[in-house]
Structure 1
Amino acid sequence: MPKPTSSKNQSREKAVFTTRQHELMQSILRELQVSFADEQLLRQAFTHSSYVNEHRMKHVKDNERLEFLGDAVLELAVSNHLFREFPSMTEGDMTKLRAAMVCEASLASLAEELQFGNVVLMGKGEEMTGGRTRPALLADVFESFVGAMYLDQGLSNVEQFLERFVFPKLDEGAFSVTADYKSQLQEFVQKENLGVISYEITDEQGPAHNREFSSAVSVNETRVGTGRGRSKKEAEQRAAQATLEQLQRRE
């Protein structure tokens, strides 16, 4: 008859960052001006279920519950910010803007900018199938990070983090419900029968946790517009905006 797992063995079982992941995480936290009192909670935020399942860790928690909590905390913090900072905005417009800020695409872009994908603990199968760049996984990790921060430091510190890193992007139009320039460009090109659109990341600058990307848009292999951003998606959106404006002037 097998012996039951001792409490001592259970306490030793934990998710572990690689040396490179640990160094990158510390760099990210310094950049964000965030520190965790409970490092185990931080590790949990970046532990995907595939890692737990692959290593058969019965006593290690994945980040799914933190993701659930972070989703609610984000909605509250974003709602509070919009209510305070935009006193003339209607309820309907606040609802649309909040939805744009907390949608999967926006959260995945934020996580990508922070290099969260490189820090996630995941199973080899998940990694081999592109888990580190999967938008749904990245969005979930951003929510779990917020959930962990809320438990570790409270709502006030979460709001300070969002004030420094997320809310300034409102002024850049990153979350505007009318700022999906890639879709607008696609519709315009199809309507005018101008040809095929292609995007290319032409340059990357800055350290790993603070990248700036350049993107170029071509129509029928002719470059039309360029743009820069803190993520590939933001750079592509700005390049699409520049291209759309160019084409509209020509037409």
Structure 2
Amino acid sequence: MEISPAIPRLTRLTFHGPLSEARATRIIDRLVRSEPRSVLDIGCGWGELLLRTLEAAPAATGAGIDLNAEDLARGRANATARGLAERVAFYEESGADTARGPADVVLCTGSSHALSGVQPPDHTAAALKALRGLVNPGGRVLLGEGFWQRTPSPAELAVMWPDASANEYFGLADVVDLAVAAGFRPEWIETANNDEWEEFQSAYRADLEEWLAAHSTDPAAAKARERAEQQRAGWLRGHGGVLGLAYLTLIPVG
């Protein structure tokens, strides 16, 4: 659902997902232990995790891939402001069959669907196969992948997103098994906690809710209000406490 471009978009989000500052720091510390020289971020959005990884690995250069031109522009501006413009490039293109790799560190958080045209839930296995070919020997992959914490009820599925299905995701153990089958060892397995989900979900809508409070009679308000209410219901009555996000730090098997 498109709404007025005059409404601020996602300015309250640091990362485009349920990821705290503390967890991001811990993840990056693990990713850069091997002193990477190259970092590839697939479905990077504005590339905050990519930029922070480059800041922690001063010898590395990076590439971010996404289809959202607005997010990519935000990433380029942030890179310039932080003195990283000479070390990172952002590309408006698909991650499927990308030729940007291989890299020493590959990031793919909440974007496994971008690596193939395979439909859920088999997109997870397809993404892991693609990631195995994109990481250099001795490197690391960070996969942020959705999983069901429990089987969603029909009522919960009805308010999540169009065509939501109980078969759309695997459980956490199954996702890890798929990573092993694809040729990885799971160095670290962790999942977003409730605080991270609450921060993400609230920040995701904060710009919109603030705008609606000040522009209730604006011609764009009806559509914006419908969007905000659908998103809020999708979380509070749908996937909240049901959909999880795993952060898997993966090592390719030699």
TM-score by length of 1: 0.26
Larger helix percent: 1
Decide which structure has greater strand share.
2
* Greater relative contact order (Cα < 8 A, sep 6+): 2
